[in-house]
């Protein structure tokens, strides 16, 4: 048989994360002690009360069937969480939808909303699922450059008028991945007016909502007046409560979009394991002291990593949010060459910036998913690597 993939598959590039894993495995086989700072998977455990809740409900023999849409308590818990953390009022019946992780929802939303030929405005650099979801849906990408000189904010006025006429959706993420920038309220207000003017759905990825440092405010897009008229916001328990493997998240906002995505999902999944939902409810309705303690731990990691890197003269930028550092590499290097050479020679795994889009060239993303002492060691190895480069920083 001559079997081959669809035309859509031909447009999807292979995952850079798998390539990094392969390089890491090769280094391990060569006897390297590898410090993996590539994948943004939390190394912290969930709160103990979340684990206890999960264990308790797994003992119920009647809880192993399909859950379909999700239990109503989950939506109420999201409603409570958003009111407590971001001062956003949600209708738990019409403005919240449970997801198998925010990536799952982002992947499916484009198929539910986009027709072939529709344009979607996508941040460049941006998380790979943004572009992949549009490609799978048959839509067209218009990249919005996120440049350092613009504080990594897209310049909406630069999108051509002929593109705007065919644009149905715009994806944003603040704090972002891989770029760790923050957006202020005035930018989100501009986005709302822009979306209303051009009849564009705004999709805001808020997965790092609880990893914002130095006293900077947590600004949900939905907290801006008019935002629910034009957009939705995705969030997840993966990073906030270290439940990445549980695959549970949600989308909130515009009721019409929520309804459309719910209808689409009814054809492709049968809901999330009941005990995981109960564990998520426990997390969302806790006293949130865990979140403050975790934030302090991540901030200590950030400070240890950045200080260590700057000791070599590599003046990496501050990271105001997320579990990443977005670092500009020495001139004269390509991102992939730099990242792969670093694994090979020093056993430190990072992700090349071009994996996230054309504008990511010249950067690497470093994940703070190791304890501070291990991050200090990684910085020392990177400094050793930099000292041997033929091109200055």
pLDDT confidence band for 391 (50 / 70 / 90): low
Residue 99 has pLDDT above 60, yes or no: yes
Q: Is the pLDDT of residue 264 over 60?
A: yes
Quote the pTM value: 0.95
Q: Are 142 and 164 in contact (CB under 8 A)?
A: no
Q: Which of 154, 149, 144, 141 is nearest to 124 (CA)?
A: 144
* pLDDT for residue 289: 95
Lowest pLDDT segment from 171-185, 261-275, 306-320: 306-320
Span 343-368, average pLDDT = 95
> What is the structure's pLDDT at 13?
67
Distance of alpha carbon 137 from alpha carbon 131, whole angstroms? 10
The pLDDT confidence band at residue 393, using thresholds 50, 70 and 90, is very low
Among 4-8, 15-19, 58-62, the minimum mean pLDDT is found in: 15-19
Q: What is the pLDDT of residue 248?
A: 97
Round the average pLDDT of the chain to a whole number and report it: 94
Reported as a single tens digit per residue, the pLDDT across 195-246 is 999 999 999 999 999 999 999 999 999 999 999 999 999 999 999 999 999 9
CB within 8 Å of 120: residues ≥ 6 apart? 110, 114, 134, 139, 140, 141, 142, 167, 168, 169, 170, 171
Confirm if 37 and 319 have CB atoms less than 8 A apart: no
**Contact call for residues 351 and 127 (beta carbons, < 8 A):** no
pLDDT band at 327 (very low <50, low <70, confident <90, very high): very high
pLDDT exceeds 80 at position 153: yes
Q: How far apart (Å, rounded) are the C-alpha atoms in residues 368 and 286?
A: 25
Six token digits for residue 19: 């390539």
Q: How confident is the model at residue 31 (pLDDT cuts 50, 70, 90)?
A: confident
The per-residue pLDDT for range 70-98, each reduced to its tens digit, is: 899 999 999 999 999 999 999 999 999 99
- In the chain, the DSSP E strands lie at 35-36, 96-99, 119-124, 140-145, 167-172, 201-205, 231-236, 249-253, 324-328, 348-349, 351-352, 363-367
Q: In order of start, what are the domains of the chain with their CATH numbers?
A: 7-45+289-387 (3.90.1150.10), 65-284 (3.40.640.10)
Look at residue 374 in the predicted model and tell me its pLDDT.
96
Rounded to an integer, the average pLDDT of 304-314 is 91
Give the mean pLDDT of 172-177.
96
Quote the pLDDT of residue 390. Answer: 67
pLDDT at 129: 94
Q: What is the band of 152 on the pLDDT scale with cuts at 50, 70, 90?
A: very high
The pLDDT score that the predictor gives to residue 14 is 63
Share of the chain above pLDDT 70, in %: 98
Backbone angles phi, psi at 362, to 5 degrees: 95, 5
Question: Quick one: tokens of 307?
Answer: 């200080």
Could you tell me what percent of the chain has a pLDDT over 90?
86
Say yes or no to pLDDT of 392 above 70.
Answer: no
What's the rounded mean pLDDT across residues 34-44? 93
Residue pair 205/242 in contact by the 8 Å Cβ criterion:
no
């Amino acid at each position: 048989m001559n079997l081959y993939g669809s035309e859509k598959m031909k447009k999807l590039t292979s995952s850079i994360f798998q390539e990094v894993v392969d390089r890491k495995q090769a280094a391990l086989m060569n006897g390297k002690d590898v410090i993996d700072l590539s994948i943004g998977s939390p190394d912290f455990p969930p709160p103990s009360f979340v684990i206890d809740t999960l264990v308790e409900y797994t003992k119920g023999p009647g809880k192993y069937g399909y859950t379909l849409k999700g239990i109503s308590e989950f939506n109420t818990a999201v409603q409570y969480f958003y009111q407590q953390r971001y001062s956003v009022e949600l209708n738990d019946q019409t403005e919240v939808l449970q997801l198998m992780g925010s990536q799952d929802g982002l992947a499916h939303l484009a198929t539910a909303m986009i027709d072939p030929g529709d344009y979607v405005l996508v941040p460049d650099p941006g998380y790979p699922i943004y572009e992949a979801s549009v490609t799978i849906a048959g839509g067209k990408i218009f990249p919005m450059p996120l440049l350092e000189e613009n504080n990594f904010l897209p310049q909406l006025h630069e999108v051509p008028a002929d593109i705007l006429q065919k644009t149905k959706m715009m994806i944003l993420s603040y704090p972002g991945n891989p770029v760790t920038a923050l957006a202020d309220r005035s930018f989100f207000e501009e986005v709302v007016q822009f979306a209303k003017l051009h009849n564009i759905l705004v999709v805001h990825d808020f997965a790092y909502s609880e990893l914002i440092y130095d006293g900077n405010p947590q600004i949900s897009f939905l907290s801006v007046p008019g935002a629910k008229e034009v957009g939705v916001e995705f969030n997840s328990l993966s990073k906030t409560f270290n439940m990445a493997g549980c695959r549970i998240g949600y989308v909130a906002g515009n009721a019409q979009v929520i309804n459309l995505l719910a209808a689409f999902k009814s054809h492709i999944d049968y809901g999330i394991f009941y005990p995981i939902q109960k564990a998520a409810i426990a997390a969302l309705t806790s006293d949130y002291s865990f979140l403050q303690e975790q934030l302090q731990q991540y901030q200590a990691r950030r400070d240890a990593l950045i200080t260590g890197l700057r000791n070599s003269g590599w003046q990496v930028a501050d990271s105001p949010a997320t579990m990443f550092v977005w670092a500009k590499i020495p001139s004269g290097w390509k991102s992939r060459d730099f990242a792969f050479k670093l694994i090979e020679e020093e056993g430190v795994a990072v992700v090349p910036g071009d994996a996230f889009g054309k504008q990511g060239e010249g950067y690497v993303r470093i994940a703070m998913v190791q304890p501070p002492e291990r991050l200090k060691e990684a910085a020392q190895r990177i400094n050793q690597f930099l000292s041997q480069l033929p091109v200055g920083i």
